[in-house]
Amino acid sequence: MDQGNEEMDVKTRLKEMSAELDGPIKSYIDDERPSNLIEACRQYPYAGGKRMRPSMVVAACRAVGGDASKAVPLAVAIEYIHNFTLVHDDLMDGDEKRRGMTTSHILYGMPTAILAGDALFAKAFDIISDLDIPSDAMRKVLKTVSVAVWDLARGQQMDVNNENSGTVSMEDYIETIRLKTSVLFAAGAAGGAIIGGADDSTVKAVHEYAMNLGVAFQMYDDILGIYGDPEKTGKSAGNDIRKGKNTVMVCHARDTIKDENVLNEFMSVFGKLDATDSEIEKARRILKESGSYDYAIEMAEKYTKDAISRLDCLKDSDDKEFMKALAEYSMSRDV
Amino acid sequence: MDQGNEEMDVKTRLKEMSAELDGPIKSYIDDERPSNLIEACRQYPYAGGKRMRPSMVVAACRAVGGDASKAVPLAVAIEYIHNFTLVHDDLMDGDEKRRGMTTSHILYGMPTAILAGDALFAKAFDIISDLDIPSDAMRKVLKTVSVAVWDLARGQQMDVNNENSGTVSMEDYIETIRLKTSVLFAAGAAGGAIIGGADDSTVKAVHEYAMNLGVAFQMYDDILGIYGDPEKTGKSAGNDIRKGKNTVMVCHARDTIKDENVLNEFMSVFGKLDATDSEIEKARRILKESGSYDYAIEMAEKYTKDAISRLDCLKDSDDKEFMKALAEYSMSRDV
């Protein structure tokens, strides 16, 4: 099977799973008072998206031989947690748009955006308390997810700190994306495996799979933020350069470029909010010539391979293949 | 025992319990990265306060015959949740001071205040997952607390909506304070009773005790916000009138004052941010003359009595007495 077909397959499968999860995702937020908070809670999770995280929860459960229907509520909870972090993120970043949609704090105001995030977070744990599995297993899921959200907040703070910091080491960059991106993927996948009845070593393997996948996913996201097609990503081209976002490529460029003039040329555009398109183009070219782009691709490939190898302990199944394909997809997508 | 002694006793007891809980409250947030988030997480819970909520958790556990040491972690979790809501509240309200302390968003910036709140919330659920009780009981605690935080967000949103609304009915006022204040007291007390091994009807009684106590507490808080001694409350006198905060007194005044001139006189000061001290004094006098102050006191007394009556099902004990005294205290305190 060539890469093109494989990618199409995983996209099709993701769409199918996303469609299956759509109903459940829209079934946990009842019509209660006050209506503006309820609307704000629904806005992000109801808007769709790739639904990679909840799909992974269900796939992991089935891949270890479990009953997928029991994992669906956790899939919803993980999606709510992901969306709660997006609502708060958009407010912190002052972003007015997310994939063409007006962001929560712009639409509903700052207090409601804060409360909608908090409420989605609470609802996720309410859903976890109702999981139809033995209470000992539920306790393990709760532990995994609550630690993940703690780590996630740490990762987001490190991200904020990195933006305000001149230089970020490669080590710090990777630690940041492990915390801000990987841990929630990993909690979802591990939670799915726990619900599926996997033993501790299998749960750990699935957790590591998703940790590595998350790093590859975020590295590729950073590549898309600089080289992606704005039509597809919904972000203006080179935005991450204008914002001065520290990525694997920027860390590599700083460590690698020996010619001071070239490095200064790059740094004069990096973080320049009003950089022209031709300046952005120049910065992009420098990152390619320094080998930083290739390095980022290599690194993302390495993490993807690492992710896939963790699944060796699972019996062959459609869901195992889907999980492998998800890892490949996390660095072949165009959005 | 006269009221004076009783009050002194409950204050002494609260201080003792607060001192006992101080160590545990300061033991769950490790030195991790990034240090600015960890500092922000510690700021509010480490600053002290009356610690009524965690004390109630421990007292409820012991009052049903349980081992208090098993309830201490939940006491910490409830205190963290309370503090997470305070951090987010201060940001939403734009308040720069809380009891003389610079608020989180002023000290650490908006993004860190949001993340510190989120992180404290996550830590609370992590602590719950580690409770040293059977997993079935832990599941009940989790359910109670997660629903409470969902309701709390609804109550805070209703409070925000009320502030932007001209008139608020007495019914809406009470529903708002049940959600924004009572539910967390109730989740803590009920959680303590669950940990103590109480049966469902006892847990329910303890829950209702704290719901009623919470309403009395908030009504009295609203009275202090208008008639309290600024030296003791740490808020400027009559602040709640300047802010146009809808309280039981304001609801009553609107329903009761027949003389349009008097009502207009009150409304001309209510919500006037730059009202002079003599205007505030006039508004205060109108609320006394209309019987609104007396009505608020009567209502708070009614809820206090209701709270205490729910404890009839408990065997007599020091902790039962303390819980009764806490209910009395919630409307006799000066801060």
pLDDT tens digits, B75-97: 999 999 999 999 999 999 999 99
| Contact status of B114 with chain A (Cβ, < 8 Å) | yes
| Contact status of A156 with chain B (Cβ, < 8 Å) | yes
Among A150, A158, A194, the strongest candidate for a mutation testing the B interface, having the largest count of B CBs within 10 A, is A150
CB neighbourhood size of A35 (10 A): 11
Nearest to A125 among B92, B111, B142 (CB): B142
User: Can you give the pLDDT at residue A115?
Assistant: 98
Contacts within 8 Å (CB) and 24+ apart, B314-321: B314/B63, B314/B64, B314/B202, B314/B205, B314/B206, B315/B65, B317/B62, B317/B63, B319/B59, B319/B60, B319/B62, B319/B63, B320/B63
User: Can you give the pLDDT at residue A2?
Assistant: 44
**Subunit contact B115:A153, Cβ cutoff 8 A:** yes
**Subunit contact B146:A123, Cβ cutoff 8 A:** yes
- Alpha-carbon distance A278 to nearest alpha carbon in chain B (angstroms): 32
- pLDDT over 70 percentage in chain B: 96
| Contact status of A130 with chain B (Cβ, < 8 Å) | yes
Nearest to A92 among B111, B129, B147 (CB): B111
User: Can you give the pLDDT at residue B257?
Assistant: 96
Q: Give the tens place of pLDDT for each residue, B94-123.
A: 999 998 899 999 999 999 999 999 999 999
ipTM here: 0.95
Q: How confident is the model at residue A96 (pLDDT cuts 50, 70, 90)?
A: very high
Nearest to B153 among A119, A145, A161 (CB): A119
User: Can you give the pLDDT at residue B155?
Assistant: 98
User: Can you give the pLDDT at residue B5?
Assistant: 55
User: Can you give the pLDDT at residue B1?
Assistant: 36
User: Can you give the pLDDT at residue B212?
Assistant: 98
Among B32, B39, B120, B139, the strongest candidate for a mutation testing the A interface, having the largest count of A CBs within 10 A, is B139
User: Can you give the pLDDT at residue A165?
Assistant: 77
| Contact status of B149 with chain A (Cβ, < 8 Å) | yes
- pLDDT over 90 percentage in chain A: 86
Q: How confident is the model at residue B209 (pLDDT cuts 50, 70, 90)?
A: very high
Q: Does B69 have pLDDT greater than 80?
A: yes
**Subunit contact B121:A118, Cβ cutoff 8 A:** yes
Query: Residue A269 has which token pair?
Result: 């555009």
B-chain CB neighbours of A154 within 8 Å are 32-34, 37, 119
Q: Which of A85-89, A105-109, B100-104, B165-169 has the lowest mean pLDDT?
A: B165-169
Q: Which of residues 54-113 of A touch B (CB under 8 A)?
A: 84-85, 88, 91-92, 110-112
Q: Give the tens place of pLDDT for each residue, A252-267.
A: 999 999 999 999 999 9
Nearest to B119 among A115, A143, A150 (CB): A150
In the beta sheet, which residues pair with residue A274? Answer: none
Q: Which of A111-115, A154-158, B187-191, B240-244 has the lowest mean pLDDT?
A: B240-244
Q: Which of B2-16, B191-205, B279-293 has the lowest mean pLDDT?
A: B2-16
Query: Residues near B326 by Cβ (< 8 Å), separated by ≥ 6?
Result: B10, B14, B52, B55, B56, B59, B213
B-chain CB neighbours of A178 within 8 Å are none
| Contact status of B42 with chain A (Cβ, < 8 Å) | no
Average of per-residue pLDDT across A279-300: 96
Task: State the pTM of this model.
Answer: 0.96
**Subunit contact B160:A115, Cβ cutoff 8 A:** yes
Q: Does B7 have pLDDT greater than 60?
A: no
Average of per-residue pLDDT across A149-156: 98
**Subunit contact B175:A123, Cβ cutoff 8 A:** no
Q: Give the tens place of pLDDT for each residue, A167-214.
A: 899 999 999 999 999 999 999 999 999 999 999 999 999 999 999 999
Q: Does A1 have pLDDT greater than 50?
A: no
